[in-house]
Amino acid sequence: MEESQKKDALGRKLAALDKKGWFPPELLALVEAVCRLQEETRASLTVSVDPAQVRGDLEHRQGAPLLPREAFPVDVQGAEKLFLSLLDVTESLPQLRTPSQLVRDRLVRGEIEPAALFRAYAAEDEAPFAAWEALAPDAPKLLPFLVYNAMEPWLEATGAALLAQRPQLDVWPYGHCPVCGSPAFIGHLSAPEPSRNEGRDINKGGKRLHVCSYCRADFRAKRLQCPFCLEEDQKKLDYFTVDSETGYQVHVCRTCKSYIKIADFRELFGRTFMPALDDLESLALDMAAQKEGFHRLAPSEWGL
């Protein structure tokens, strides 16, 4: 997508969120600011991946991700700058002011350090985030939110660069992202491609693509398989929709009790899939799925 198209799509998404009427204006202001800051960062960004760290074909076909999370090249200075800009935004919002000031105090006193937080997030080291939760029970997700969104432009760019180097043409049959090994957080059904005859899958109505919660790579998944525990027994798999949320489905697995939301905009002209924003827009489906006892593996980044 071109940058200008992306901007239009962002504007339309924000309008759609606003129209729902139940997202607090503060949250929408935050979403917009985060998207714009990340967009600015992305515009001036280059990543280079050390080829020696990228896994070979054989290992990859057996399920090994191309690059471990910790090896993603994040420019620490750039990400730190973005971290501080994001913190300015959260600090300006009344609901997040107090916990944001607490983050700032801890930074100033040297009790937390962005570079160390980035490393911990990449390595899935829960310790600094658990410490934060204990300190700020009212905003337990604020710190991981700031950390992830500060790293996101580099993670996404690296994911895209790796996918360009090693296109994933086949269905990926494993329960994690082929690029970095993290779980998917949302998915969508791709628009039909009538001009290219790739077989029955397309005629049936689109490929199922999942989006990684860490590097944002999208990759093809089996239509009928739990993306986490790999259950394929159709009696254990099910999906449902919520009347007020056209364009979204929840796919559940009764074996591992997990779910994933799938956007299907094939019949809805003018709707563009923007994973992080669609995740927010379809919040009603999370509530419905969780009420039924299902859980999601990759938590929503907006769960502030």
Task: Please give the residue ranges that form the binding site for Zn ion (CB under 5 A).
Answer: 177, 179-180, 182, 212, 214-215, 217, 226, 228-229, 231, 253, 255-256
Tell me the residue ranges of DSSP E strands in 13-117.
Answer: none
Q: Which helix (H) or strand (E) holds 220?
A: strand 218-221
Residue 55 phi/psi, 5-degree rounding, is: -70, 150
Find out whether 221 and 170 touch, Cβ atoms under 8 Å. no
Return the SS3 of 115: helix
Find out whether 42 and 150 touch, Cβ atoms under 8 Å. no
* Least distance (Å) between residue 197 CB and Zn ion: 30
Given the complex with Zn ion, which of 30 and 217 has the nearer CB atom? 217
Tell me whether strands 184-189 and 208-212 are parallel, antiparallel or unpaired: antiparallel
Q: Which helix (H) or strand (E) holds 80?
A: helix 76-91
* Least distance (Å) between residue 99 CB and Zn ion: 28
Cα 37 versus chain centre, distance = 17
Given the complex with Zn ion, which of 109 and 235 has the nearer CB atom? 235
* Least distance (Å) between residue 13 CB and Zn ion: 22
Given the complex with Zn ion, which of 173 and 192 has the nearer CB atom? 173
* Least distance (Å) between residue 101 CB and Zn ion: 33
* Least distance (Å) between residue 58 CB and Zn ion: 20
Given the complex with Zn ion, which of 231 and 264 has the nearer CB atom? 231
Given the complex with Zn ion, which of 167 and 199 has the nearer CB atom? 167
Find out whether 236 and 295 touch, Cβ atoms under 8 Å. no
Find out whether 140 and 26 touch, Cβ atoms under 8 Å. no
* Least distance (Å) between residue 229 CB and Zn ion: 3
Given the complex with Zn ion, which of 190 and 255 has the nearer CB atom? 255
